[in-house]
Copies of this chain bind each other. A is one copy, B any other.
């Protein structure tokens, strides 16, 4: 792997202007930096919204590719040839059977469990980050990951012909490790939790000239999540929903969906409207939910211990911003147990035919909890973000989903098995009645 040649910024008609500190507002040239030199606040990309308002319409977007790149003017890249492997434009599924089960009337699942190419919302942020990495001259890309990000970075780097080295906690689910190794990157399995992996990567980013998608490229990377806001607005017929429920790991996804909605309002693509933002965490790693519950404006780090490894970030970078958004929009942040997470995965699969990973189970379980607590109005148009695929976390449900009935290839063997299963169904049913 070669060292990156950085800082080759070109002049183009890009609508993004600068990096701006979220805390003190200091502006920087759009390079591979992510922390304000003045106040150590996080940097965020700013745009020329007047230009966007003049040049972007619903029609120009609809005439674009069937991927996140239909929103290219809202994304921090200069090229007209971004890395496009079909990422984004995942289905917004009207979920009538799940809605009925929960007592809701207008429920939608935004299904990134089938996002392309690696079946999680991370493909959005990585497509943006690697496109920008190429513009900035990096030849080696990297990330600190709980699994999905490693899958996505390795896959899209392979497609783009970039060298790749990913860092993961050593105890990840087998499907996530194998789903990274298949693309032949260098994989560093760190004996520690995600927060330790992340700290190590910050050091490596400082000492090697690599493009870490979620460290020195983080301002660009995180903007990719805005497309989860844009797509929902477009798929609802250029309207915003009343309420969204999304998982919280670092909190970045949550804040960027919010930014996406705000930008669409600002440039006139949708009518202004208050959308309630509710967030989901696993009890075993719920620092943001705890801060929300206690009305704090700071997040106290925790040591993760949950089956929902993909959202197990004990020291969430954007936690305080997530709390702020939930508070000011009238939403909630809740947490659920590992047992509830498994039930959430099963509930979504049985009612809607969507097989999500533990993070999605968390989100569905929190949805259920919020409905039962009266914190979601049955009439609200509610969108639930499902961010990853269940085939990657098979361990989590092994032992909780029944077993096949083994039979011989003969009609009478089948008939006997069917009779047994009907009897079992009746017994279960009687137990319900008792």
Q: Which residues of A contact B (CB under 8 A)?
A: 66, 85-86, 89-91, 93, 97, 111, 113-119, 154-161, 165, 168, 170, 174-175, 177-179, 181-184, 186-192, 196-197, 199-200, 203-204, 207, 345-346, 349-355, 389-392, 394, 397-398, 401-411, 414, 417-418, 421
Among residues of B, the one whose C-beta sits closest to the C-beta of A356 is: B182
Pairwise interchain contact A405-B159, C-beta atoms closer than 8 A: no
Pairwise interchain contact B181-A401, C-beta atoms closer than 8 A: yes
A419 to chain B, nearest CB (A): 12
A392 neighbours in B (Cβ, 8 Å): 391
Pairwise interchain contact B406-A186, C-beta atoms closer than 8 A: no
Pairwise interchain contact A407-B191, C-beta atoms closer than 8 A: yes
* A197 CA / B111 CA spacing, docked (Å): 33
Copies held by the complex: 2
- Knowing A158-B353, A200-B409, the reply to whether A116 touches B91 (Cβ < 8 A) is yes
A–B pairs, 11, beta carbons within 8 Å: A114-B114, A114-B116, A159-B351, A159-B353, A170-B404, A177-B404, A186-B405, A191-B407, A192-B409, A200-B409, A391-B392
A178 neighbours in B (Cβ, 8 Å): 394, 397-398, 401
Pairwise interchain contact A188-B414, C-beta atoms closer than 8 A: yes
Pairwise interchain contact B197-A353, C-beta atoms closer than 8 A: no
Partner of A119, one of B177, B186, B391, B401: B391
Pairwise interchain contact A411-B168, C-beta atoms closer than 8 A: no
Of A182, A391, A405, the most chain B CB neighbours within 10 A belong to: A182
* A191 CA / B354 CA spacing, docked (Å): 28
Among residues of B, the one whose C-beta sits closest to the C-beta of A100 is: B161
* A417 CA / B190 CA spacing, docked (Å): 11
Partner of A411, one of B118, B203, B349: B203
